[in-house]
């Protein structure tokens, strides 16, 4: 049976629904992984690393479904609205970003395991930063769920806060190493953890850019002057002879 615009929309909605569930899983994975930092719970970190397989499997299935849907549409010359094309392209890119966020959570879990018996407390700002990242993740998934450009722009606006947290924690850790309150190995693991937290924030901004693109057709890019929106040129149909 040839695919129709209605069938295309139905399958596209299923892909988006699956992605929203994937997003919720990734948020849960990140939050629980962050908790293991402060509990110094290596066993819980190992269990969370194993859950990364769930994300990887869903990533493969969503990618396959998106490719299959586009292949069928091309085969059957199914008329697709530009908004549907943007939605499908967004889904593929968001799928990849979510998988990368899960990878970052796995790297953090590995660092928690590496800490072993070292119990030197991290700067209090570390928990503030990781709580902020979880909040940004949640807002990112909501923006994608609602195809809401304004919510996505709120996510973009959080980038500066994430960098500020990173710099505060780095300076605090350097001071602790200097006066003997924190060992060099612990400081190294802390630095690796907050690096991964920053990466999570970066992936959230990438998703936010795609949400704005899906909602408005506008491409958003980061420059030295901040976030800049670029309108795509209108595509004109070739004139008939």
| Residue boundaries of the structural domains of the chain | 5-231
Residue 224 has pLDDT above 60, yes or no: no
> CB neighbours (10 Å) of residue 232?
12
Ranges 47-51, 177-181, 216-220, 225-229: which has the least confidence: 225-229
Residue 229 has pLDDT above 70, yes or no: no
Read off the pLDDT band of 10 (50, 70, 90). very high
Read off the pLDDT band of 109 (50, 70, 90). very high
**Pairwise CA distance, residues 211 & 190, whole Å:** 32
Please give the pLDDT value at position 119. Answer: 81
pTM for the structure as a whole: 0.90
Please give the pLDDT value at position 196. Answer: 98
Residue 227 has pLDDT above 70, yes or no: no
Contacts of 113 (CB under 8 A, 6+ apart): 42, 45, 46
Read off the pLDDT band of 120 (50, 70, 90). confident
Residue 162 has pLDDT above 60, yes or no: yes
In angstroms, the first-to-last Cα distance of the chain is: 32
**Pairwise CA distance, residues 218 & 215, whole Å:** 8
Region 3-18: what's the mean pLDDT?
Answer: 94
Region 16-22: what's the mean pLDDT?
Answer: 97
Contacts of 189 (CB under 8 A, 6+ apart): 111, 114, 115
Region 165-169: what's the mean pLDDT?
Answer: 97
Read off the pLDDT band of 151 (50, 70, 90). very high
Cα angle at 161 between 29 and 86, to 5 degrees?
65
Burial class (CB in 10 A: 0-12, 13-18, 19+), 231: exposed
Please give the pLDDT value at position 140. Answer: 98
- Of 228, 216, 239, 183, which is closest to residue 90 (Cα–Cα)? 216
Region 210-218: what's the mean pLDDT?
Answer: 91
Residue 177 has pLDDT above 90, yes or no: yes
Q: Which of 59-63, 80-84, 222-226 has the highest mean pLDDT?
A: 59-63
Give domain 5-231's CATH architecture: Up-down Bundle (1.20)
- Of 103, 107, 124, 120, which is closest to residue 56 (Cα–Cα)? 103
pLDDT tens digits for range 178-194: 999 999 999 999 999 99
Q: CA quadruple 148, 151, 157, 159: dihedral positive or negative?
A: negative
Ranges 36-40, 136-140, 163-167, 229-233: which has the least confidence: 229-233
């Amino acid at each position: 049976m040839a695919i129709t615009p209605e069938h295309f929309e139905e399958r596209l909605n299923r892909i988006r629904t699956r992605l929203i569930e994937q997003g919720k899983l990734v948020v849960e994975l990140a939050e629980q992984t962050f908790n293991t930092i402060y509990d110094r719970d290596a066993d819980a970190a190992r269990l969370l690393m194993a859950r990364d397989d769930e994300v990887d499997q869903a990533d493969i299935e969503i990618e396959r479904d998106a490719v299959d849907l586009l292949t069928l549409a091309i085969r059957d010359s199914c008329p697709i609205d530009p908004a549907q094309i943007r939605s499908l392209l967004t889904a593929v890119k968001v799928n990849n970003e979510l998988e990368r966020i899960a990878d970052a959570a796995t790297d953090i879990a590995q660092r928690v395991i590496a800490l072993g018996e070292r119990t030197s407390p991290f700067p209090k700002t570390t928990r503030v930063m990781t709580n902020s990242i979880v909040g940004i993740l949640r807002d990112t998934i909501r923006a994608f769920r609602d195809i809401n450009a304004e919510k996505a722009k709120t996510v973009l606006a959080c980038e500066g806060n994430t960098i500020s947290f990173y710099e505060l924690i780095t300076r605090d850790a350097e001071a602790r190493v200097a006066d003997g309150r924190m060992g060099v190995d612990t400081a190294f693991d802390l630095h690796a953890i907050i690096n991964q937290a920053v990466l999570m924030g970066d992936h959230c901004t990438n998703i936010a850019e795609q949400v704005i693109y899906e909602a408005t057709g506008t491409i958003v890019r980061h420059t030295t002057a901040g976030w800049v929106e670029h309108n795509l040129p209108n595509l004109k149909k070739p004139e008939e002879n």
